[in-house]
Chain A
Amino acid sequence: MASSVGESAPIILAASRVSKSFGEIPVLFSIDFDIRPGEVHAVIGENGAGKSTLIKILSGLEQPTSGSIIYDGQTVVLPPNGAAEAMGIVLIHQEMNLAEHLTVADSIFLGRELKKFGFLDVREMRKRAAAVMETLHVHVDPDARINTLSVADKQMVEIAKAISRDARVLIMDEPTAVLSVGETQTLFEQIRRLTARGVAVIFISHKLNEIMELAQRVTVLRDGQLIATVGTEALTPDSIAQMMVGRELSNLYPPKHEPDVDAPAVLTVRNLSAAGVSDVYFDLRRGEILGFAGLIGSGRTAVAEAIVGLTHRTGGDITLDGKPVDFTRVVQSVDAGLAYMTKDRKGKGLLLNMGLRPNLTLLTVKKHLRAGFLDSASETRALERAVRRFDIRARDASVAVGRLSGGNQQKLMLGKTMESEPDIIIMDEPTRGIDVGTKQQIYHIIAALAAEGKSIILISSELQEVIGLSHRVVVMRGGRVAGVLEGAEITESEIMRYAAGIKQSGNDERISA
Chain B
Amino acid sequence: MSASAPDTAAKPRRGFRIDLKTAGPLLALALLVLLGITLNENFLSYSNLTNVLARSSFIGIIAIGATFVITAGGLDLSVGSMAAVIAGVMIMVMNWLIPTMGIGWGVVLAGMLAGILLGGVAGVFNGLMITRGRIEAFIVTLGTMGIFRSLVTFLANGGTLSLNFNVADVYRPVYYDGVLGVPWPIIVFAVVAIAGEIVMRRTAFGRYCAAIGSSEQVARYSSINVDNVRLLTYILQGVLVGVAVLLYVPRLGSASSTTGVLWELEAIAGVIIGGTTLKGGYGRIWGTVVGVVILGLIGNILNLQSLISPYLNGAFQGVIIILAVLLQRERLTS
| A337-352 near B? 1/0 per residue, CB < 8 Å | 0001010101111111
Chain A's nearest CB lies how many Å from the CB of B197? 12
Q: Pick the interface stretch among B26-34, B138-146, B213-221, B251-259.
A: B213-221
Q: Which of B10, B207, B225 meets A358, CB within 8 Å? A: B207
CB-contact partner of A23 in B16, B210, B281, under 8 A: B16
Q: How far is the CA of A374 from the CA of B225 in the complex (A)?
A: 18
Q: Of A4-12, A281-289, A361-369, which stretch is located at the interface?
A: A361-369
A61–B208 contact, CB under 8 A? no
* A493 neighbours in B (Cβ, 8 Å): none
Is the CB of A310 closer than 8 A to any CB of chain B? yes
Q: Given known contacts A310-B220, A330-B221, A347-B217, is B203 in contact with A22 (CB within 8 Å)?
A: no
In the complex, A331 has a CB within 8 A of chain B: yes
A sample of 13 more A-B contacts (CB under 8 A), given A349-B218, A362-B222, is: A23-B14, A81-B2, A329-B225, A334-B223, A340-B221, A347-B217, A349-B221, A351-B211, A352-B215, A363-B222, A365-B204, A372-B203, A416-B222
Q: Sample 11 A-B pairs with CB under 8 A, ordered by A number.
A: A310-B220, A330-B220, A331-B223, A342-B221, A344-B217, A348-B215, A348-B220, A348-B221, A362-B207, A363-B222, A369-B204
A373 at interface by CB-CB < 8 Å: yes
B9 within 8 A of A: yes
Does A76 reach chain B (CB closer than 8 Å)?
no
B198 within 8 A of A: yes
Q: Flag if A353 contacts B9 (CB, 8 Å).
A: yes
- The reply to whether the CB of A320 lies closer than 8 angstroms to some CB of chain B is no
Is A351 touching B223 in the complex (CB atoms < 8 A)? no
Q: How far is the CB of B166 from chain A (nearest CB, A)?
A: 43
Least CB distance from B235 to A in Å reads 18
Q: Say yes or no: A22 contacts B281, CB within 8 Å.
A: no
A interface secondary structure, majority = mixed
CB pair B218 A351 closer than 8 Å: yes
A351: nearest chain-B partner, CB-CB? B214
In A289-337, the 8 Å CB interface with B consists of 310, 329-331, 333-334
Residue of B nearest to A417 (CB): B222
Shortest CB-to-CB span from B324 to chain A, Å, is 18
Interface residues on chain A, number (Cβ under 8 Å): 38
> Do B207 and A365 touch (CB < 8 A)?
yes
A402 touches B10 (CB 8 A): yes
Residue B202, interface by CB 8 Å: yes
Which residue of B201, B210, B214 has the most chain A CB atoms within 10 A of its CB atom?
Answer: B214
User: B11 near A: Cβ within 8 Å?
Assistant: yes
Distance A333 CA – B222 CA, assembled complex (angstroms): 11
Tell me the minimal C-beta distance from B76 to chain A in angstroms. 23
When distances are taken between beta carbons in the complex, the residues of chain A under 8 Å from B201 are 374
A80–B2 CA distance with the chains assembled, in angstroms: 9
Which chain A residue shows the least CB distance to B219?
Answer: A362
Q: With A and B bound together, what is the CA distance between A446 and B10 in angstroms? A: 28
User: Which 5 residue pairs are nearest across A and B when measured between Cβ atoms?
Assistant: A402-B10, A330-B223, A331-B223, A351-B214, A362-B222
- A80 to B332 CA separation, bound complex (whole angstroms): 18
Q: Separation in Å of the A475 CB from the closest CB of chain B? A: 26
**Chain B: interface residue count, which band?**
20 to 34
Query: Is the Cβ of A402 less than 8 Å from the Cβ of B218?
Result: no
Query: Is B221 within 8 A of A358, CB to CB?
Result: no
CA distance A23 to B11 in the complex (A): 14
A353 vs B218: C-alpha distance when bound (angstroms)? 12
Q: Is the CB of A400 within 8 A of B204?
A: no
Q: Which of B198, B203, B221 contacts A310 (CB 8 A)?
A: B221
Distance in Å from the Cβ of A312 to the closest Cβ of chain B? 14
CA distance A209 to B297 in the complex (A): 66
Residue B99 CB within 8 A of the other chain: no
Indicate which residue in B11, B16, B202 contacts A374 across the interface (CB closer than 8 Å): B202
Chain A window 150-183, contacts with chain B (Cβ cutoff 8 Å), 1 for yes, 0 for no = 0000000000000000000000000000000000
Which chain A residues lie closer than 8 Å to B211 at the CB level?
351, 354, 358, 362
Query: Which residues from 222 to 241 on chain B have a C-beta closer than 8 Å to any C-beta of chain A?
Result: 222-225
Residue A261 lies at the interface, judged by CB distance under 8 Å to chain B: no
In the bound complex, do residue A82 and residue B2 qualify as a contact, i.e. CB atoms below 8 Å apart? yes
Contact B202 A353 (CB under 8 A): no
| Min CB–CB distance A141 → chain B (angstroms) | 27
Quote the shortest CB–CB distance from B153 to chain A (angstroms).
Answer: 40
Q: How far apart are B81's CB and chain A's nearest CB, in angstroms? A: 33
CB neighbours (8 Å) of B10 from chain A are 346, 352-353, 400, 402-403
Using Cβ atoms and an 8 Å threshold, which residues of chain B touch A310?
A: 220-221
B window 1-42: CB within 8 A of A: 1-2, 9-14, 16
- Report if B263 contacts A (CB, 8 A): no
Are A374 and B223 within 8 A (Cβ)? no
* CB-contacts of A64-93 with B (<8 A): 80-82
- Confirm or deny: A511 has a beta carbon within 8 angstroms of a beta carbon on chain B: no
B contact residues around A81 at 8 Å (CB):
1-2
Partner of B218, one of A22, A350, A366, A400: A350
Instruction: Knowing A365-B208, A373-B203, A374-B204, say if A61 contacts B218 (CB, 8 Å).
Output: no
Q: Which residues of A contact B203 (CB under 8 A)?
A: 369, 372-374
Decide yes or no whether B282 CB sits under 8 A from chain A: yes
